[in-house]
Structure 1
Amino acid sequence: MTTLPRGAAAARHRVLRRRRAVAAAGAVSAGLLLVSACDKPTPKSTVTVGSSSVSSEAACGGEGDTLKVADIQKCLKDTKDLKTISVDPDETVRFGVDPDIADKRWTILMNGQQLSNDTKNTYRTVPGSVFFNAQYGAQGDSTIVTIKAGDGKKESEAATGLWSFKLKKDD
């Protein structure tokens, strides 16, 4: 049995409940403040071979603005620090992009040259042998593959983002 006067226990409970609600609201506000202070990451693209995959954010662009031709050329030549994946020529190479990239149409470039037509799909496959075949412009045991996001117009030359990967021949 409590020794508090009638109704005092209920009033005390209301105060505790109010404190918890204020603390919860403060925690939610602090969380939202932290999230809003962060930059939104660019969409990702992924290359998968067998059970291995590598993902990357845009090397250039990726925020939706059209890139200048000079910036595209500079970005395609910058092959340092690219994510690398080994490719058996008998395997299938799978390319996947975020829906944000697919909405703008995208294509695959091999060593800077267009390898595929643009598409709005989020997924595309290419035989691994293509990336090491001289007929397609391959030289040696590695190839630079770039995913180029367009501007949403079919067959447009404009680029809004580039994601590059190095494919290394697996013997």
Structure 2
Amino acid sequence: MTAAFIRGKRRRAAAAVGAVTFGLVALSACDKPTPLATVTVGTNTVTTEAVCLDEGTKLDEAALTKCLSSKAPKTIKVKPGDKVRVGVEPKIADEGWIVATGGVQKTAQTKQTYTSLDGQSLFVNQQAQRMEKTTVLSVVTSDGVWNVKLELDND
């Protein structure tokens, strides 16, 4: 009876060691998550990871242009008169960031974790002098870009 009890303990111990080893291997295979940017309009919120991020390395002009034109992974609707609130993690804020739409800078560089913008003004295409139905809001740092698609909701 004692021998069976000891073998059972060894089996459980071996299973526990195997589970811990598997967990460590699985964790080491994971990529480090990028800092997040959050856009809130009314009660709706979307959070997105960087479309481009090369931490510690300044994006050159070609890379920045490519990142700004990358497809936005998430969409949020904006009604006329809505405020668009943009928040970033402290890691992004510490570096300094701006908000751009359509490749045009909309805010001064800030090291705050939050800013608020007039939603309707984000859809103004100054070059064509018209309102767009959609635009991409970009949070831009020297080494990364986070994109969220904004849709104008006139309903």
| Structure 2 unaligned residues grouped into runs of 5+ | none
Aligned residue in 2 for 1:153: none
Residue 32 of structure 2 aligns to a residue in which SS? coil
TM-score (norm 2): 0.80
For residues 20 and 85 of structure 2, the distance between their equivalents in structure 1, rounded to whole angstroms, comes to 40
Contact 1:90 1:128 in 2 (8 A): yes
Alignment of 1:28-107 (within 5 A): 28-78=20-70, 80-107=71-98
Aligned identity (percent) is: 43
Q: 1:43 to 1:62 in 2, by over 3 A?
A: farther
Larger Cα-atom Rg? 1
Corresponding letter in the other structure for 2:23: G
Moved more, 29-38 or 100-109: 100-109
Give, in whole Å, the separation in 1 of the partners of 2:99 and 2:74. Answer: 16
The equivalent position to 2:17 in structure 1, one of 25, 31, 49, is: 25
* Distance in 2 of aligned mates of 1:147 and 1:138: 23
Structure 1 vs Structure 2 CA RMSD = 2.6
Counterparts of 1:100-139 in structure 2 under 5 Å? 100-133=91-124, 139=131
Aligned to 1:32, the other structure's residue is in SS state: helix
The answer to whether the Cα contact below 8 Å between 1:42 and 1:62 also exists between their aligned partners in 2 is no
Query: Residues 42 and 63 of structure 1 are in contact (CA less than 8 Å); yes or no, is this contact kept in structure 2?
Result: no
The Cα shift of 1:140 comes to 2.0
Q: Where do 5+ consecutive residues of structure 1 fail to align?
A: 150-158
Aligned mates of 1:12, 1:105 — CA distance in 2: 64
Distance in 2, Cα, partners of 1:138 & 1:15: 77
Partner of 2:148: 165
How far apart are 1:120 and its partner, in Å?
A: 2.4
Aligned residue type for 1:32? L
Task: Provide the rounded CA distance (Å) in 2 between the counterparts of 1:101 and 1:63.
Answer: 10
Structure 2 contact 72–149 (Cα < 8 Å) conserved? no
